[in-house]
Structure 1
Amino acid sequence: MTSRVTFVSPAMNRSVREARFDDGSPLDAGGAARARSAAGTLSAADRVLVSPTVRCRETASALGLVAVEAPELGGMDMGRWRGRTLGEVSAEEPDQVAHWLADPAAALHGGESVRALCERVGRWLEATAQTDGRTLVVVEPEIVRATVVRVLAAHEATFWRLDVPPLTATEISGRSGRWNLRLGQTLGAREPEGGH
């Protein structure tokens, strides 16, 4: 039994452009147009899931996908920092931000730590490894980062070293929980089936 999962990062919105922790902003006009132009470029899937965030749901819709919400793949809980820019938080709480970026177990914002996020995603990956066929998920970049950390059995500190551009696909495939990783396919450029 082989399970394949393609993680699609959402299109741009105001929050991303402003380096703002998710505040529920919709896609901006450019992000929505780019997602619509990529519709039809993804391989067919047996299951299509979406993070419950606004921009993930809107990206899935713009891509022409009919997706089921997957709360377990929701974005990182940013606690009291939600909706604020990294610059604002860094100016007001520089020690807390520095600690949060340096220590994967830190959750000084009252939300979720990087470690807790990676563990949550790891549990989802374990369950998904038992599912045959293709799964397509539209998720926030931090879910893709946590997936890469888990698949490579990397230290959680590497989480911050992974960049996930908007509207890119990252694929994992495997059996018995042993995953192979394929990074960074830009949506809109259809790739031949099975090409790795």
Structure 2
Amino acid sequence: MTHRLHLIAPALSPALRAARFDDGGSLDPAGVRAARAAAGGVPVAERVWCSPSARCRETLAALGLDGHGGHGGVEVAEWAGLDAGRWRGESVAEVGAREPEALAAWLSDPGAAPHGGESVREFCARVGGWLEGAAEMSGRTVAVVEPEVVRAVVVRVLGAPEGAFWRVDVEPLARVEVSGRSGRWNLRVG
């Protein structure tokens, strides 16, 4: 059987708007409106899941998925955002001004974690481990996940090197579909 996994990035939040490392904050009013407007394009699914963050839970609700099948979305711990350590809540510009070498290392070396959090390599392994098990499921799943989860899934599905992680741009409410069977995933575009 085939498992179709529809990944939806969260709507706009103040952290995304300000290019800040996620601080656990909520969506802004424009993000809520955009998610409500996009609700009609979300496919029907047997399962609804989300990353364990306020912005993903709120996007799920604004998309009308919190009451799906009589239940809300199931939070998947492995889909928590990339741990930015001491940079959490700071803007990329602030970190770049204070720690330019550390930021450059983090963006260029998938094994680096100069902020004391998680490296891109560790993060991709965490998301990839979950994805391997999900290939054995069947049916359709809709999941509202952090943008970096979408990046990690795309990198893993394509067999790209972890250095490609930062080359995948994920806009608010972007949707990516992957389908899998017997441990093999395909990326569907369009």
Select the structure that is richer in helix.
Answer: 2
The residue that corresponds to 2:69 in the other structure is none
Match of 2:94 in 1: 88
Letter in 2 for 1:113: S
- The one-letter code sitting in structure 2 at the alignment partner of 1:22 is D
In the alignment, structure 1 residue 20 sits paired with structure 2 residue 20 = yes
The two structures have a TM-score, normalised by structure 2, of: 0.94
Is the contact made by 1:40 and 1:64 (CA closer than 8 Å) also made in structure 2? no
Q: Which residue number corresponds to residue 193 of structure 1?
A: none
Q: Determine the structure 1 residue equivalent to 2:46.
A: 46
Is residue 123 of structure 2 the alignment partner of residue 117 of structure 1?
yes
Deviation at 1:40?
A: 3.1
SS of equivalent residue, structure 1 residue 38: helix
| Counterpart-to-counterpart distance in 2, 1:142 and 1:168 | 12
For 1:12, the aligned partner's letter is L
Corresponding residue number in structure 1 for 2:153: 147
Count of residues in correspondence between the two structures: 184
Cα distance, 1:41 vs structure 2: 2.0
Equivalent of 1:177, from 174, 183, 187?
A: 183
Deviation at 1:94, TM superposition (A): 0.7
Asked if structure 2 preserves the Cα contact closer than 8 Å seen for 1:48 and 1:136, the reply is yes
TM-score (norm 1): 0.91
> How far 1:25 sits from its partner (Å)?
1.8
Residue equivalent to 1:188:
none
Give the 5 Å matches for 1:96-135: 96-135=102-141
**Equivalent pair of 1:102/1:157 in contact (CA under 8 Å):** yes
Q: What residue number does 1:61 align with?
A: 61
Structure 1 residue 148: deviation in Å?
0.5
Instruction: Give 1:163's aligned residue.
Output: 169
* 1:172 Cα offset (Å): 0.3
User: Identity, % of aligned pairs?
Assistant: 58
Which deviations, in whole Å up to 9, do the C-alpha atoms of 1:15-43 show, x marking residues without a partner? Answer: 11110000122111111001011123211
Displacement after TM superposition at 1:57 (Å) = 0.6
Determine the C-alpha separation between the residues in 2 that align with 1:169 and 1:69. Answer: 18
Q: For each residue in 1:88-143, what CA deviation from the matched residue of structure 2 results, as whole angstroms up to 9, or x when unmatched?
A: 00111111111111100001101111001110011011110011111111001100
Is residue 71 from structure 1 mapped to residue 77 from structure 2 by the alignment?
A: yes
Is the CA contact 1:75–1:142 (under 8 Å) kept in the aligned structure 2?
yes
SS of residue in 2 equivalent to 1:24:
coil
Q: 2:23 is paired with a residue of what secondary structure?
A: coil
Q: Which runs of 5+ in 2 are unaligned?
A: 67-72
When the two chains are superposed, the root-mean-square deviation of aligned CA atoms in Å is 0.9
1-structure distance, mates of 2:116, 2:188: 33
